[in-house]
Structure 1
Amino acid sequence: MNRRILVPPVAIPVVVLMFFIFLLMFVLFSSIVTSAFTKLGIPPAVALTLFLFSILGSFVNIPIAEERTYEPALRVRQVVFMGIPYPVPYLDLEEHRVIIAVNVGGALVPLSVVLYELTRVSMLGETGLRFNIFLSVTISALLSHAFSRPVRGLGIAIPTLIPPIIALGLAMIFGGTNPPLVAYTSGTMGVLIGADLMNWDKIKRLGAPMVSIGGAGTFDGIFLAGLIALLLV
């Protein structure tokens, strides 16, 4: 018996329209990100490549460690008394394994950009700017740690708009001759260090099979913090 699947004629124009809308949004967003990265002195072609790596890399997690925890679990065993089985609850320790991974788009890409910029600043001999960067990252990490919250079954989450606001304020105070660089480094590294690394001891107790540094709830904080901060300064 042959079965035919009928597709309404209106579905094809809608799909085509959705495709063009998605393509337009992608081009618009990529141009915004590219222009933001060029404020750091990065060539447009390299900036576009970094944008693509950030988006595609957000789906890639590289395992780096495995943590084990033991939590109390309620179990039931049967006890037979005079030929009659009785369920008896008891507490036991249950082992949980958590794989800790590094997200390519949310951690490795911004880290590579920051290392490149720090190397360039060091080669130019801008000691004052380098000190302001480290000071801004430290302050941003402490504030990000204060606003971050562990979410059971997911990872570490932070409100999306908090990191850009912190980065913008630090760029205005410590930006000196290069506010975009201070904004980007404090926005990205502040979240990565404060939200993820400083909560390392809590990660293994979140009950998730895998926790990604720079992924899940902190990817928006890291990516958008750097992007919005660059656009605002």
Structure 2
Amino acid sequence: MILSGVPTVALIPILSADQIRLLAAVMVPILLLYLFILISEEAFELTGIKISHAFFMTFGALIGSFIDIPLGMIDGVTLAVNVGGCLVPVALSAEILIKRRVSPLPAVLSVAVVTVVSYYFSFPIAGEGILMPFYIAPLVGAVAGILFTRAGPTAGAAAYIGGTMGTLIGADFLNLATPGTIEAIAGGGPAVLSIGGAGVFDGIFLTGILAVFLATLAARRIRRSTKDPEAPRHE
């Protein structure tokens, strides 16, 4: 995310800011309306993601992406965290794990995989930030969530935790911890680096959309299932 002409930590957008805001404004209400009309709350919660979570993963990231909270100075560079791209996914992931809505092992494994892939594909660019193709996090997170839950009902929750936390750790924290990265991004001038910045444009926001979509599919499957009268257990 670029704040007043200075570089921050972000992921490569393909569409313009206005185009993505318009796309999000259309997609998010349709997705949430679909949840309320076709999915019962009881079935949806069996996926590990509550309907309230779906709101925060989408609208929370969208609104919070405009808010950066300064943390301090590092080598002359102001370090900040983005509410929508960092604080919202961290809080949601912690709540999902603490309340055991998804088993820790699939979530941790998903985070590990996305962390490695994100670190590999991300790179610092002077005046731009830490860049990575936006589709890496949601796709790898979704595949990891599906594999590690054995395509279970909590695949969406594992995908969200893996995609968001893996991106923050791999693309942001590990790169920022690498010697010389901050100086390289700043390009010798004053800069504000926002962890999870441009949340509406990067893979973190798209990971939330995809996670809700996976959870919706799982909830539909649970609702339609008539073979097993017992509620599906979390994988």
1:186 aligned to which of 152, 157, 162: 162
Count of residue pairs brought into register by the alignment = 178
2:51 aligned to which of 30, 43, 58: 43
Stretches of structure 2 lacking an aligned partner (at least 5 in a row)? 1-20, 218-235
Alpha-carbon RMSD: 3.0
Query: For 1:38-187, what aligned pairs fall within 5 Å after superposition?
Result: 40-44=48-52, 47-48=54-55, 51-68=58-75, 97-121=76-100, 129-176=103-150, 177=152, 178-187=154-163
The one-letter code matched in structure 2 to 1:181 is: A
Residues 98 and 210 in structure 1, CA contact (< 8 A), matched pair in contact too: yes
Identity %: 35
How far 1:131 sits from its partner (Å)? Answer: 1.4
Question: Greater CA deviation, 98-107 or 165-174?
Answer: 165-174
The one-letter code matched in structure 1 to 2:25 is: F
Structure 1 CA distance, aligned partners of 2:23 and 2:192?
34
How far 1:67 sits from its partner (Å)? Answer: 1.4
How far 1:110 sits from its partner (Å)? Answer: 0.8
Structure 1 CA distance, aligned partners of 2:174 and 2:195?
11
TM-score computed with the length of structure 1 as normaliser: 0.66
Residues 118 and 137 in structure 2, CA contact (< 8 A), matched pair in contact too: yes
Structure 1 CA distance, aligned partners of 2:56 and 2:92?
12
How far 1:104 sits from its partner (Å)? Answer: 0.3
Note closer, same or farther for the CA distance 1:205–1:65 as it changes in structure 2 (3 Å cut). Answer: farther
Stretches of structure 1 lacking an aligned partner (at least 5 in a row)? 1-21, 69-96
Note closer, same or farther for the CA distance 1:228–1:66 as it changes in structure 2 (3 Å cut). Answer: same
SS at match of 2:94: helix
Per the alignment, residue 12 of structure 2 pairs with: none
Higher relative contact order (CA 8 A, sep 6+): 2
Note closer, same or farther for the CA distance 1:193–1:223 as it changes in structure 2 (3 Å cut). Answer: same
Give the greater-gyration-radius structure (CA).
1
1:203 aligned to which of 175, 182, 194: 182
The one-letter code matched in structure 1 to 2:193 is: V
The one-letter code matched in structure 1 to 2:66 is: F
The one-letter code matched in structure 2 to 1:99 is: T
Structure 2 CA distance, aligned partners of 1:64 and 1:131?
31
Note closer, same or farther for the CA distance 1:151–1:181 as it changes in structure 2 (3 Å cut). Answer: same
How far 1:27 sits from its partner (Å)? Answer: 5.3
The one-letter code matched in structure 2 to 1:51 is: T
TM-score computed with the length of structure 2 as normaliser: 0.66
How far 1:112 sits from its partner (Å)? Answer: 0.8
How far 1:222 sits from its partner (Å)? Answer: 1.1
Q: Which has the higher strand share?
A: 1
Residues 140 and 163 in structure 2, CA contact (< 8 A), matched pair in contact too: yes
